Structure 1
């Protein structure tokens, strides 16, 4: 499916949320919501998706203007706190529900585009960093795929999942919107159908006739250690996103423990303060398991964040907290409605 389908879905969701807001139903849902629940929002990139973005569009959570509108809504309706504070009970001083703003992956636009908004509105955030991307800058595999497809001048090519694959992936580049072509390559990697990911990326470059300087592009995509120190100096929290952004639930105990511990050690040395919170890479069921939560606790983390949808409620395992992932189509009323539905019904249809 191309981006027009998803744009249509996003527009319908936003329309419903505006209706709930205009009729007063949204405020009623918020009033009915279970007390003591907190919302954690997950952001990745703050940028403009589309032709001007050379990388994977679904990692764009909001435009700079959209992000500012969302943060203004949070400031007005929630008490915004660093993510790690959610493991402690809310105090009686402020009856507003709590919210935390989190960023995964450590992209440079978090510093360039999001930080000025956070500074202007006086809001704290937590930045979860995959330390290997800062130590050895390079394109993540999903951005590598998108960059190649967007840059190719071919109309069509085929790429095998493995050198002896009898049914290669057919990549059609004849339409201006190349999102379907990108997803045709992303899905088999996520499904585990590509055993040698580096080899697959090299074959992709060859078949698409695109040369990729992954290190140079990675240096522009991610923050530097200096950026992290500046974030910490302004009072923002720095957390771990493991070391090399792998699905921890697929690793054995030794390797998963190393991913968690090494990242924490590197970050504490870089910013000069304790790192007690982690956001698990990918974060969906299977990418994290109960064993992952136990290992995170064993190496010293106090708070852990998943990609499970939902609100943080009283009594929740502090190493397995859910979040609401923010997508490019999420307007401020839509974010409010999603949080309100989770707080009232324990699920969201938006």
Structure 2
């Protein structure tokens, strides 16, 4: 294990996973108690990302790939829901996997829901309620749309990009990623200035609400998921980076999500996930507000798994399922999450 831990930081994870898969180590570990605790896997969008006019990086899997991954989860662990967390936190032994989806995209209902229902596994859908109440294009998708449709090949150096921003029209992903990361660091009201300036300098204007048609689930769909036994959780109202907001804004985002979900579902959700969920994107104050709002658990999103030895109920880690995740990495993550669930 010491050798494994030395290899991973030097970018050997993919190579190591391939070796484990080819040598049969993954197969051998799959039948052994190689870990115990909770591995939380997180998805965003489901489908074919090539046709997406927005942020293709949000796609986690096709429906077919999701089906295969769910089958892998079932072979390796007990797939659990939010109600199981109390006994797991209390020391219930074994390997447990929790499947989660963030934001409330329509493709979660159209494509993921049938797969999960057919497999008979629980899952949790974290809903940003403002996208359901007032359908509009989310800030990360609008950033991607602006850059994809930019009328210029670069943005000048200035307030937002110290060295400017180069836009490759054939592959704008790098520019989209840099712009999104810039947005992450902005405080409160500065985000709207950034979006307006980006749209103006790119020559595209802002996304109108008509471009959000069929982008999000509606409340009938959310209620159907709930009626079928899937867990519904809070994900704020408008999906801001909470740590960059004033306390009053954080409170309204967190309490507002609880209020709307309770109104629409007739019961209070137990779980919450922090938007973006990196270590610097929620604070101890944020966690306290989530607790005060009535949530029982809250999830971050920066890798790792939870051995449930000293669990922080308001910072349960999740690892991303990426569209380009090599199958060997996923297989190794299921047999040795101590190493392969790390960021």
TM-score normalised according to structure 1 size = 0.84
Q: Give the CA deviation at 1:104.
A: 0.7
Q: Deviations over 1:275-307 (max 9, x none)?
A: 111011111112112232222222211111111
Structure 1 segments of 4 or more deviating over 6 A?
A: none
SS, match of residue 317 in structure 2: strand
Cα separation, 2, equivalents of 1:319 and 1:87 = 13
What per-residue deviation string (whole Å, max 9, x for no partner) do you get for residues 210-236 of structure 1?
244431222422111111011111111
Shift of 1:109: 0.8
- Give the 5 Å matches for 1:336-347: 336-343=331-338
Change (3 A) 1:331 1:253: same
1:263-282 paired onto structure 2 within 5 Å: 263-282=257-276
RMSD: 2.9
Please, which moves more after superposition, 121-130 or 25-34? 25-34
After superposition, residues 101-140 of structure 1 pair within 5 angstroms as 101-140=99-138
Q: 1:277 to 1:171 in 2, by over 3 A?
A: same
Q: Which residue of 2 aligns with 1:238?
A: 232
Cα distance, 1:102 vs structure 2: 0.4
For structure 1, the 5+ residue unaligned runs are 1-11
Aligned residue for 1:41?
41
> In structure 2, how many angstroms separate the alpha carbons of the residues matched to 1:184 and 1:253?
27
What does residue 143 of structure 2 align with?
145
- Structure 1 stretch displaced more, 104-113 or 63-72: 63-72
Alpha carbons of structure 1 residues 16 and 328: separation in structure 2 relative to 1, 3 Å: farther
Other structure's SS at 2:41 match:
strand
In the alignment of these two chains, the number of paired residues is 331
CA apart distance, 1:259: 1.9
- 2:164 — aligned with what? 169
The change in CA–CA distance for 1:78 and 1:349 in structure 2 (over 3 A counts) is closer
Cα distance, 1:99–1:254 mapped onto 2, change above 3 Å? same
1:34 positional shift: 3.4
In structure 2, the gaps of 5 or more residues are: 1-11
Distance 1:224 1:160 in 2: 40
Q: Is residue 2:319 matched to residue 1:324?
A: yes
Match of 2:81 in 1: 82
CA contact (8 A) 1:107 1:222 kept: yes
Confirm or deny: 8 A CA contact 1:188 1:194 kept in the other structure: no
Report the secondary structure of 1:102's partner residue: strand
Q: Work out whether residues 194 and 200 of structure 1, in 8 Å CA contact, stay in contact via their aligned partners in 2.
A: no
SS of structure 2 residue aligned to 1:89: helix
Other-structure match for 2:252:
258
Deviation at 1:252, TM superposition (A): 4.1
CA–CA distance in structure 2, aligned partners of residues 281 and 84 of structure 1? 22
2:214 partner SS: helix
